Amino acid sequence: MKNIKITSVDKICEKNGISFFHVESNKFKTVLIDIFLADPLDKKRAVQNALIPHILKRGCSRYPTQQELALRLEELYGASINGGVSKFGEYQIVHLNAGFVSDQYTVNKANLFEEVGDILFEILTEPVIKDGMFNEDYFQQERENLIQRIRSRVNNKMYYSLERCMEEMCSDEPFAVYRDGDEEGAKALTNQELMFRYEQLLSRSPIYVYISGNVSDEQIQKFIDKFDALKRESIISLPPIKVKKEVQEIRHIEEPMDVSQGQLCLGFRTQIEAGDPMYYPLVIYNGIFGGGVHSKLFQNVREKESLAYSTFSTIEKFKGLLVACSGIDISQREKAEKTITDQLRAIENGDISDYELEATKKSLETGLKSMQDSQGAMVSFYFSQNLSGQNDSATNYIDKLNAVTKDDVVGVAKKITQDTVYFLTSLSGEGERREEK
């Protein structure tokens, strides 16, 4: 039986503000190349950054149309190229990705890594340009698509409420910027402005390149050498993310919308940074509080009191936020809010059963182990670890979670402070948003 190598990550090198990593494993039949470009969140730049990957993946100098690019990728055993943006704390990440069959599974061991790598690099560095700007049709079409994506964020009321709660918590901080920017900014954006931002992003932003799969050192080095052609200057440093903030008073935000079910979100400041040793007890705390069917929120808010259709809590790792969300009958708001806060007080007072602690650890361990069956999930894990200044493997991460005690969890509970109560409710005719006094 073939020995399966445990997935691990090695930093190959760093030059000109570009860091290269190899996520090595022989358990996958595919290879991924992920390129992440990082930029501090900024309201104006956010919408520009959000548009760039969608225009880039429309084509490159050799394959200037989507049809030509798609046909070539199909010839390369159905390779795929994707792109988008994400938000990690107060950093906006522009992401390009290529996925394809490992060379050892192709006829005559065709060099797919080199061919697909060439295309991905060209998409990044040689987009379809005319008169010094992006193809105007691509620009207009993708800007309209971006506007529609921004508008559609309201379609999932639960996640919309979660994001809006955190944005309100950080209304005077960079974190309040939505990952895709805002509709007004998208409508005002010009092709010329976008080209300038693209050139800045490519020349100044920190870049992280992850190669995942069974690839030789020689192939990797040849791909790395391509980046020497980039003109890199005045490379920015990502500023530290401010996590610790004293809460002066709890804010109550109510947002009316055409809904029949309310979404109640309670936002908390944990005061714990991603690199803090207390982060691991915080993960366990969140699991006990609202991380699964064994959690206090599920057992008390949903099962015992029948107050919520859905209820959970989640951590924003980089910003040190924790939010508890519940989909409730609008008339049950006060009772639901009290029941949720009662669970917080219970943990703070040490009311944690052996079952809650062990079920949380088991659930997290199962999730982390299953994550290792997905190349994309592993790349995301290691990239997140890198951004937070950590170098834990999935195995080390599990060990640190399993070492957490009840006293550790209580210690975390005593640091947490409530910041904001956000309620998405039915239309009241009182405007788009109001802050309760």
* pLDDT for 100: 96
Q: What's the pTM value of the predicted model, to 2 decimals? A: 0.93
pLDDT at 258 over 50: yes
* pLDDT for 3: 47
Which positions ≥6 away from 369 have C-beta within 8 Å? 394, 398
* pLDDT for 4: 45
Which domains are delineated in the chain? 8-229 (3.30.830.10), 251-436 (3.30.830.10)
* pLDDT for 280: 97
Task: Give the residue-averaged pLDDT of 405-423.
Answer: 97
pLDDT at 50 over 90: yes
**28-42 confidence digits (pLDDT tens):** 899 999 999 999 999
DSSP 110-151: --HHHHHHHHHHHHHHS--EETTEE-HHHHHHHHHHHHHHHH
pLDDT at 365 over 80: yes
**90-136 confidence digits (pLDDT tens):** 999 999 999 999 988 888 778 899 999 999 999 999 999 999 999 99
**289-324 confidence digits (pLDDT tens):** 999 999 999 999 999 999 999 999 999 999 999 999
C-beta of residue 38 within 8 angstroms of C-beta of residue 95: no
Identify the helix (H) or strand (E) that includes residue 152: none
* pLDDT for 434: 55
Dihedral angle of Cα 288, 291, 296, 302, to the nearest 10 degrees: 180
pLDDT band at 7 (very low <50, low <70, confident <90, very high): low
Q: Name the amino acid, one letter, at 381.
A: F
- Closest listed residue to residue 387, CA positions, set 87, 15, 150, 55: 87
Whole-angstrom distance between the N-terminal and C-terminal Cα of the chain? 67
* pLDDT for 428: 66
pLDDT band at 436 (very low <50, low <70, confident <90, very high): low
pLDDT at 369 over 80: yes
* pLDDT for 110: 82
pLDDT at 5 over 60: no
Identify the helix (H) or strand (E) that includes residue 65: none
pLDDT band at 431 (very low <50, low <70, confident <90, very high): very low
* pLDDT for 2: 43
Alpha helices, H only, 254-353: 279-290, 296, 333-348
Which positions ≥6 away from 56 have C-beta within 8 Å? 83, 96, 123, 124, 127
Question: CA 36 to CA 341: how far, in whole Å?
Answer: 39
Task: Give the residue-averaged pLDDT of 326-353.
Answer: 96
Question: CA 237 to CA 130: how far, in whole Å?
Answer: 32
Question: CA 317 to CA 308: how far, in whole Å?
Answer: 25
